[in-house]
Amino acid sequence: MTSTTDSMTLYDEPYRPQFHYSPPSGWLNDPNGLVYYEGEYHLFYQYHPHSTVWGPMHWGHAVSPDLIHWETLPIALYPDDLGTMFSGCVVVDADNTSGLVPGGGLVALFSYHTQAQGAAYSTDRGRTWTKYEGNPIIPALRKDFRDPKVLWYAGQWVMVLSAGESVMFLKSPDLLHWEVTGEFNGGYEIGVWEVPDLFPLTIEGVTKWVLIISVNPTAPAGGSGTRYCIGRFDGRTFIDEYPDQLLWFDWGADDYAGTTFYNAPDGRCQFIAWMNNWAYAELIPTSVWRGATTIPRELRLVNTEAGVRLAQFPVDALNQLRVPLGKWEHFTLGETLSLDEQVRDLEVEFELRDAQIFGVELFATKMGGVQLTYDVNAQQLVLHRPSGDIRNFNPAVSAPLVAVDGRIRLRILVDRSSIEVFAHDGLLTMTSQVFPEVDAAHVRLFALDGTVHVLSLCAYQIQNIWRA
Ligand code: FRU
């Protein structure tokens, strides 16, 4: 497929993600309008084409057959007389309920920067878009009132959108006329709520509803982050089944404004977030672009002792890019073990012995690299990442992780400027940017003051998606 590389240097700049999407140039924040339609995944995104800092928002656009290889297309939505293009969603209006897409097509619902909501439509597989002439379709009802996400439920369209420190639910027969049905706050007043998502998932034959909310600031790693609730949706509002628990979607510093795909194939639930943090988003040391997306993930529900939880997995298509580097089983790690090749995907299962701290060093050099450690006493997974000159860049991102049967199991994806950890089969994830001094992703396993047993270790290279 065609890639956006028009020279050998584009997509090979320092820190440029090699298997994550980032725009050729300019600024990217939230993914928008995630939709699967006629064999293509669409990724729209908050985009400022003329700068590497946030500015008048457009919707950038990329498409993919598999969620891994992306082709950047021309800008989909430009600012208009009513304002600039904030976040929103795209749905497939197969039955033309809107009257805008005879024969079926795509309808985008987005926020203007004024916090009024607008619509646009496309009848050519998302290649060109027309703004609805009756915009805006919903006025700004609150100071912060934005980021609509729409689903089809029980014969009507349902919208969830952020409204200050809560989310509101609206319903519509035609995507254009909306009526408020409910509001959910859940008692947590932790910063501005942005980019909500609402979707059903089934576990053991029972359907639960998941509400995802991006909050800024007050995330566990500082700055902006994502939380979620599990409960019921009665067609009007959301009822939290665990009202006393604050569940974090990701414990890393850089997983924000993520949403799920509309119409994902085979009933799957597929998700992409912005891999950055408003606390320092404009300061990360990249050029000629700034901002990337997380690895696309599949979401599932899992029963745990504490209740039902979300689990996240990198989409299967990533595995096709894996090049095995080696597999090692059953050995005791005293001090260190080094892997010299470019490891981009690592699966490791440790069994605790007497070392109180052990882990993996990534981007290892004689000067030290980025360390992911497990602290047995504290029951914490900690990512130590050099902060360089970046203000508000948390240098030690941590997450609570209890060993299961004395074991810690991790999958770690390492791109040039990011580390995504999936622990215990995706029950805990930690997504963080890193800006190491070296590009080579050499890896060193280590144990401090004792030993740890390695039950298995698999290392892979991942083929570059821009030069394949
Ligand atoms: C989240 C957000 C949204 C808004 C968009 C503007 O990161 O602040 O609430 O629509 O970014 O770019």
Quote the tokens at residue 84: 């600039």
Q: Which of 58, 59, 87, 212 to mutate to test the pocket of ligand 1 (most atoms within 8 A of CB)?
A: 87
CA distance 2 to 70: 9
Residue 462, strand partner residues: 322
DSSP letters, 47-58, are EETT-SS--S-E
In ligand 1, which atom is closest to the CA atom of 54?
12
User: Which protein residue has the closest C-alpha to ligand 1 atom 9?
Assistant: 194
Quote the tokens at residue 3: 């890639």
What is the set of active-site residues?
Answer: 30
CA distance 61 to 77: 9
User: Which protein residue has the closest C-alpha to ligand 1 atom 8?
Assistant: 194
- Label residue 174 exposed, middle or buried (CB < 10 Å: 0-12, 13-18, 19+): middle
CA distance 458 to 382: 21
| Beta carbons within 8 Å of 142's beta carbon, 6+ residues apart | 115, 163, 164
In ligand 1, which atom is closest to the CA atom of 111?
10
CA distance 2 to 274: 24
CA distance 444 to 457: 12
Q: Is the backbone of residue 425 left (phi > 0), alpha (psi -120 to 50) or beta?
A: left
Which among 402, 349, 404 is positioned nearest to 377, based on CA atoms?
402
Residue 100: how many CA atoms within 13 Å on its side-chain side? 24
| Amino acid type, 286 | T
> What spacing in Å lies between the alpha carbon of 86 and ligand 1's midpoint?
6
Given this model, what pLDDT does residue 104 score?
98
Given this model, what pLDDT does residue 1 score?
37
Given this model, what pLDDT does residue 380 score?
98
CA distance 196 to 211: 7
> What spacing in Å lies between the alpha carbon of 110 and ligand 1's midpoint?
11
Given this model, what pLDDT does residue 116 score?
98
Distances (CA, A) of 104 to 37, 153, 159: 11, 18, 20
Give SS3 for 265. Answer: helix
Taken in order 174, 266, 70, 275, the sign of the CA dihedral is positive
> What spacing in Å lies between the alpha carbon of 396 and ligand 1's midpoint?
26
In ligand 1, which atom is closest to the CA atom of 88?
10
> What spacing in Å lies between the alpha carbon of 130 and ligand 1's midpoint?
22
Q: Phi then psi for 446, rounded to 5 degrees?
A: -145, 155
DSSP letters, 71-140, are EEEEEEE--BTTB-EEEEEEEEETT-TTSSSTT-EEEEEEEETTS-EEEEEESSTTSS-EE-TT--SB--
Report cis status (omega within 30 of 0) of the bond before 265: no
| Beta carbons within 8 Å of 424's beta carbon, 6+ residues apart | 401, 404, 408, 409
Taken in order 214, 215, 217, 221, the sign of the CA dihedral is negative
Say if pTM beats, i.e. exceeds, 0.85.
yes
> What spacing in Å lies between the alpha carbon of 150 and ligand 1's midpoint?
17
Q: Which residues of the chain have pLDDT under 50?
A: 1-7
CA distance 43 to 33: 7
3-state secondary structure 127-159: CCCEECCCCCCECCCCCCEEEEEEEEECCEEEE
Which among 380, 386, 378 is positioned nearest to 361, based on CA atoms?
386
Quote the tokens at residue 50: 């003329």
Q: Which of 45, 147, 215, 282 to mutate to test the pocket of ligand 1 (most atoms within 8 A of CB)?
A: 147
User: Which protein residue has the closest C-alpha to ligand 1 atom 6?
Assistant: 86
> What spacing in Å lies between the alpha carbon of 377 and ligand 1's midpoint?
39
Q: Which of 27, 28, 29 to mutate to test the pocket of ligand 1 (most atoms within 8 A of CB)?
A: 29
In ligand 1, which atom is closest to the CA atom of 46?
12
| Beta carbons within 8 Å of 128's beta carbon, 6+ residues apart | 122
Termini Cα distance of the chain: 9
Please list every protein residue whose CB sits less than 6 Å from any atom of ligand 1.
29-30, 46, 57, 86-87, 111, 146-147, 194-195, 257
Q: Which of 30, 113, 278 to mutate to test the pocket of ligand 1 (most atoms within 8 A of CB)?
A: 30
Given this model, what pLDDT does residue 439 score?
72
In ligand 1, which atom is closest to the CA atom of 224?
7
Given this model, what pLDDT does residue 441 score?
64
Q: Are 394 and 221 in contact (CB under 8 A)?
A: yes
> What spacing in Å lies between the alpha carbon of 418 and ligand 1's midpoint?
22
In ligand 1, which atom is closest to the CA atom of 256?
7
Q: Are 358 and 333 in contact (CB under 8 A)?
A: yes
DSSP class of residue 190?
A: -
